[in-house]
Structure 1
Amino acid sequence: MCRHIAYVGETLAVGEVITGPVHGLYRQSWAPRRQRHGTVNADGFGVGWYADGDPVPARYRRAGPIWSDPNVVDLARVVRTEALLAAVRDATEAGADSEAAAAPFASGRWLFSHNGAVRDWPRSAAGLAAGLPAQSLLGLEARCDAAFVWALVLHRLACGDEPGGAMADAVGEVGAAAPGSRLNLLLTDGATITATAWGDTLWYLHTPGRSTAVASEPYDDDPRWREVPDRTLLTADRTEVLLTPLKESP
C-alpha cells in the first residue's frame, strides 16, 4: 500500500529523486519492485518541498495516478530544494480517493506520509480517537487511516514530544489497538527525517555530510542503499542515520 520517499541534503531538482531515476517514485506508481501489498499505486500522489528561506513547505497533490498528470515532469525538472517528501498512493479502502487523502499531509513545518494500512479501519481506531482533542479530529484533512495516524503523531508533536518519540508512540498505540496493521511512517521538517519500518519495506541511502534519502524502496541500483529492519525507528539528517528497535506494546 503506497510508496514514499523523503530527502534532505544538498540542493537538487525534485526530479532527481522522483521522476529521473530508473526506478524512481514515478515508476513505482505502476511497477514497484519491492511492494509487498498491492501492485499499482494509482489512487493519488503528492510532493512536498521546502523553498530556500521558507520553513513552511509547499505541496502539489492530485487524486489520480501520477502518470496521468502532464505537469509533474515539468515541475519536478525546475523545482529545486534541499528537502522533500513525496508519495504515490494505493488506497486502503474504496471511496477514500480524494486529493485530500493523498500524502504528504502537512502542518506548519512538518510533512508526513503513511505507507500501510490500519487493520479493521475505522472500528479499531475508535478507542484511539477518544484520546484526541476535538480539534484534532475536526481538523482531519481526509477520513482515511493515514490522516488519522497523522493526527496521532501531530498531537504528540504539539505536546512537545520529539519526532522520534511521537512516531514510536503512535505506532505502538495503533499496533496495540489494531494488531496486524502496517505502519511505515515518514516525517520531515526540512532538516531531519524520521521514519518507522513496521510491516513493509524501508531503505535509506546516506552520503555523509551531503544527503540522506529514505524510501519504501531504492530508486536506483546504487549498492550503498541499506534496508531498515522491520520494527525499527530511523532518525536521520544529512550527517548521520540512527536506527533504534521499536517495541511492540503488550
Structure 2
Amino acid sequence: MCRHIAFLGEPLALGELLVSPPHALYRQSWAPRRQRYGTVNADGFGVGWYADGDPVPGRYRRPGPIWADPSFADLARVVRTGALLAAVRDATEPGADGEAAAAPFAAGTWLFSHNGAVKGWPGSLAPLAATLPAEELLRLEARCDSALVWALLLHRLRAGDELGRALAETVTEVAEAAPGSRLNLLVTDGETIAATAWGDTLWYLARPGDRTVVASEPYDDDPHWHEVPDRTLLSATRTDLVLTPLKEPSSCTSPTRSS
C-alpha cells in the first residue's frame, strides 16, 4: 500500500533522489523490493518540495502512474530543493477521488503521506471523525482513510502540538479505534521530518552535513541505510535523528538517539 520518501539536505534536483537511484521511488512504483502489501503503485503519485525563501511547499500530483507522466521527467530534471516529500500510491479502494487522494497532502508549511490502510474503514473511524469540527471535515481533500488521518493529525498541529507528539498521538488514537490498521505516517515542515513505523517497512539514511532520508525502502544498496523497528516514532533534522518506541495505546518509553 504505497511507497513514500522524505528528504532534508543539500539542494539537489528532484530526479537525483526520485528517479536516478537504481531503486528510486520511480522504480518502486512498479518494482518495490520490500513492499508487504500490494505489488504495483499506479493509483497516483505526488511530490511536494520547498523553495529557498518560501516556507510553503509547492506540489505536483497526478491520478495515474508516475511512469506515464512525461511532464514529471522534465520537472524532476530542473527543480532543485533541500527538502521534499514524495509518494506513489496503491489505493485502498480503487478509484477513490483520483488526484485529490494522492499524497502528499498539504496545509501551510506541512506535507503528509500515509503508507498503509485503516482497518474497517470508514465505520471504524466514524467516532474520531465526529470529534473534528464540521468545517475541518468539509475541507477534506478526499474521502479516503489517509485524508481523514491527515485531518486528525492536522487538528493537533494547528492546536500547537509538536510534530512528533502530534504524529504519535494520532497513530495510537487511530490504532485504538481501528485495531489491525497499518499506519506508517510521514510528515515534514521542510526543517524536520517525523515518521512512524506501524505495520509496514520504514528505513532511514543519515549523513550529517549532507542528507537525511526517511523512506519506505532504500533507493540503493548503501550499507548506511538502517531499518526502523515496527512500532517506532522517528524524528529527524538535517543533523540529528531520534527513534522512540511506540507501544500499543497509552504506554511510554525512553527515546534512543542515532547519529
TM-score grouping bracket, smaller chain normalisation = over 0.9
1:94-153: per-residue Cα shift (whole Å, max 9, x none)? 221510000000000000000000001001010111111112111100000001000010
Tell me whether 110-119 or 130-139 shows the greater mean CA deviation. 130-139
Which residue in 1 is equivalent to 2:40? 40
How far is 1:173 from its partner? 0.6
Shift of 1:224: 0.2
Question: Quick one: which amino acid aligns to residue 154 of structure 2?
Answer: L
1:84 and 1:97 map into 2 onto residues whose CA distance is 24
The 3 A distance-change label for structure 1 pair 66 and 97 is farther
Aligned position for 1:221:
221
Q: Deviation above 2 Å: which 4+ runs of structure 1?
A: none
Give the Cα–Cα distance (whole angstroms) in 2 for the partners of residues 135 and 234 of structure 1: 31
Normalising to structure 1: TM-score of the pair?
Answer: 0.99
Q: Is the 8 A contact 1:211 1:237 kept in 2?
A: no
User: Which whole-Å CA distance do the structure 2 matches of 1:248 and 1:134 have between them?
Assistant: 29
In structure 1, the residue matched to 2:233 is 233
In structure 1, the residue matched to 2:105 is 105
Superposed CA offset, 1:184-226 (max 9, x none): 0000000110000000000000001321000000000100000
Q: Any conservation in 1 of the 2:97–2:142 contact (CA below 8 Å)? A: no
Written as runs of structure 1 = structure 2, the 5 A alignment for 1:69-88 is: 69-88=69-88
Relative to 1, partners in 2 of residues 1:184 and 1:169: Cα closer, same or farther, differing over 3 Å? same
Give the Cα separation in 2 of the matches to 1:21 and 1:211: 15
Alignment of 1:31-180 (within 5 A): 31-180=31-180
- How far is 1:16 from its partner? 1.0
**Structure 2 partner of 1:30:** 30
Uncovered stretches (5+) of structure 2, i.e. residues with no partner: 251-259
Distance 2:211 2:25 in 1: 18
Deviation of 1:237 after TM superposition, in Å, equals 0.8
Question: 1:94 and 1:66 mapped to 2: Cα distance?
Answer: 17
* Counterpart Cα distance in 2 of 1:78 and 1:244: 37
**3-state SS in 2 of match to 1:247:** coil
User: Residues 41-100 of structure 1, C-alpha deviation per residue, up to 9 Å, x if partnerless?
Assistant: 000000000011000000000000000000111111110000000000000112215100
Aligned with 1:5: secondary structure? Answer: strand
Which amino acid is the alignment partner of residue 33 of structure 1?
R
Specify the SS of the correspondent of 2:70.
Answer: coil
| Letter of the 2:225 counterpart | W
Once the two structures are aligned, what percentage of the paired residues are identical? Answer: 76
Q: Distance in 1 between matches of 2:73 and 2:18?
A: 9
Residue type at the aligned position of 1:121: W
SS at match of 1:71: helix
Measure the CA separation in 2 of the matches of 1:4 and 1:210: 20
Structure 1's unaligned 5+ residue stretches are: none
Q: Is the 8 A contact 2:97 2:143 kept in 1?
A: no
Q: How do 1:173-192 and structure 2 match up within 5 A?
A: 173-192=173-192
CA contact under 8 A between 1:44 and 1:97: conserved in structure 2? no
d(CA) in 1 for partners of 2:76, 2:196: 26
1:205 and 2:205 matched: yes
Is the CA contact 2:118–2:182 (under 8 Å) kept in the aligned structure 1? yes
Within 2, Cα distance between the matches of 1:207 and 1:244? 20
TM-score scaled by length of structure 2: 0.95
Name the SS of the counterpart of 1:10 in structure 2: strand
